[in-house]
Amino acid sequence: MVTRHFDIMIVGAGIVGAALAATLRHSGLNLALIDPRPPHEPTVDWDTRIYAISPGSVALLQHVNAWQRIDSSRLTPVHAMQVHGDRNARLVLDAIQSGVPQLAWIAEAGQIQHALWQTLVEQPNLTIFCPGQGRSLHWSAQQARLELDDGQCLSADLVVAADGRASWVREQAGIIARRDDYHQSGVVANFSCERPHRHIARQWFRDDGILAWLPLSDRAISMVWSTPAEHAGRLLAYTPEQLAQQVATAGQHALGKLQALGQAAAFPLSLLRVNPIVRPGLALIGDAAHGVHPLSGQGVNLGLRDVSELAAVLLDRQAARCGDLPLLERYARARRADILTTQSVTDGLYHLFHHQHPLLTRLRNIGLNTVARLDPVKSWLVQQSLI
């Protein structure tokens, strides 16, 4: 069978892989994008996967003409964030006080993926292999060779692994990922609420985990409850009415009575450290390159920052080939600090609030209340959420 050659093969068309393909639209590079399944058509029901998208990520999605394609009635700006510690400690981050129109936008994963897909199917320098799944992948000195399940053979100067946490490409390359299990699941569900949320995202650090309520339009919220696996199992076993009651109580009835919208789902949580994230002819992006606790809502945002950096390096490659290691190392170096900081901060916060030692309990609440009084520190925290 004839082998089709590309400059870059992107394996995985989740938000991160799709965004990279779209960002390289005017690059003059010949691209292949491979994924076993296309995104679902959006429906009137809310998606169970709902993300806080930072303004920096919004700018990237606007730049590739995807954000504009999302039904604006399904996008909700976040005007403030309330973080509640135990013992009534509280930190409030406010958009107006921080001089920005909103801290983030809340959007459905399915809506973002569908919007990206619509831009990709019109992209002249892109060939989409979907449904497509790799059977074997090998690198030689000059190129990588991918055989798909249906027997098609593709080759490329560079393979980009964007195939998520359990990356098949990473495994084929023999790159070890260190996984630290949080022994928690992220239980996600949506609810309508009795009282308006006033565009405030709320988060409680509780003995049984971290509960987050993200505002949706139409007086509704999306919940992420990161909680021990055994408690997650109990939450999933409740009837919708029982779950709504538990979640309302855990959130101190801040929005009155809640009513479940659709089914709850749970995702196991772990910290994933991957090193290296580049090899000759290979670059890892998104969850294939790093995994973080969802308490700061940073996973997709971190992945989209990989996209910006890798695209910038590829566009500025001059005489280099896309798979050249010195070029790819520029990407890895540029991403190192952001990835390490996000992993350390989210992991540190998880451990700080996970332990029940009385001294730690006191320290963390003093910490929250002190930060609440220090405007420059608060501004810094806001800036972190805006990149």
Ligand X SMILES: Cc1cc2nc3c(=O)[nH]c(=O)nc-3n(C[C@H](O)[C@H](O)[C@H](O)COP(=O)(O)OP(=O)(O)OC[C@H]3O[C@@H](n4cnc5c(N)ncnc54)[C@H](O)[C@@H]3O)c2cc1C
Distance in Å, CB of 287 to ligand X, minimum: 4
3-state secondary structure of 116: helix
Using rule CB under 6 A, residue 309 touches ligand X = no
Distance in Å, CB of 38 to ligand X, minimum: 9
Using rule CB under 6 A, residue 215 touches ligand X = no
- End-to-end CA separation in angstroms for the chain: 46
What 3 state SS string does 176-206 have? CEEEEEEEEEEEEEEEEECCCCCCEEEEEEE
d(CA 41, CA 47): 11
Using rule CB under 6 A, residue 297 touches ligand X = yes
Using rule CB under 6 A, residue 16 touches ligand X = yes
Pair 96, 382: CB distance under 8 Å? no
User: Which lies closer to ligand X via its Cβ, residue 58 or residue 361?
Assistant: 58
Pick from 14, 209, 215, 323 the residue near ligand X by CB under 6 A.
Answer: 14
Distance in Å, CB of 187 to ligand X, minimum: 8
Using rule CB under 6 A, residue 281 touches ligand X = no
Give φ, ψ of 225 to 5 degrees: -115, 105
For 219, half-sphere exposure in the C-beta direction (CA atoms, 13 angstrom radius) is 10
CB count within 10 Å of CB 62 equals 11
Pair 376, 306: CB distance under 8 Å? no
The one-letter amino acid at 369: N
The one-letter amino acid at 300: V
DSSP 8-state secondary structure symbol assigned to residue 213: E
Pair 226, 293: CB distance under 8 Å? yes
User: Which lies closer to ligand X via its Cβ, residue 61 or residue 162?
Assistant: 162
User: Which lies closer to ligand X via its Cβ, residue 51 or residue 350?
Assistant: 51
Distance in Å, CB of 112 to ligand X, minimum: 10
Distance in Å, CB of 265 to ligand X, minimum: 9
Pick from 303, 322, 335, 361 the residue near ligand X by CB under 6 A.
Answer: 303
Q: Which residues 241-280 are close enough to bind ligand X by CB under 6 A?
A: 267
| CA 137 to centroid of chain Cα atoms | 26
Pick from 177, 299, 313, 327 the residue near ligand X by CB under 6 A.
Answer: 299
User: Where does this chain touch ligand X (CB under 6 A) — which range of 15-23, 255-263, 320-328, 346-354?
Assistant: 15-23
Pick from 127, 133, 152, 246 the residue near ligand X by CB under 6 A.
Answer: 133
User: Which lies closer to ligand X via its Cβ, residue 35 or residue 47?
Assistant: 35
Q: Which residues 137-176 are close enough to bind ligand X by CB under 6 A?
A: 162-164, 168
Beta strand pairing call for 31-34 and 3-11: parallel
Token pair 């809340």 is found at 106
d(CA 370, CA 97): 18
User: Where does this chain touch ligand X (CB under 6 A) — which range of 93-101, 198-206, 296-304, 334-342?
Assistant: 296-304
User: Which lies closer to ligand X via its Cβ, residue 270 or residue 365?
Assistant: 270
User: Where does this chain touch ligand X (CB under 6 A) — which range of 193-201, 251-259, 275-283, 298-306?
Assistant: 298-306
Pair 46, 220: CB distance under 8 Å? yes
User: Which lies closer to ligand X via its Cβ, residue 109 or residue 320?
Assistant: 109
Pair 7, 152: CB distance under 8 Å? no
User: Which lies closer to ligand X via its Cβ, residue 17 or residue 281?
Assistant: 17
d(CA 114, CA 228): 32
Distance in Å, CB of 196 to ligand X, minimum: 21
Pick from 110, 134, 209, 251 the residue near ligand X by CB under 6 A.
Answer: 134
Beta strand pairing call for 144-148 and 209-216: unpaired
The one-letter amino acid at 354: H
Instruction: Return residues touching ligand X (CB under 6 A).
Output: 11-17, 34-37, 51-52, 133-134, 162-164, 168, 186, 188, 224, 267, 286-287, 294, 297-301, 303
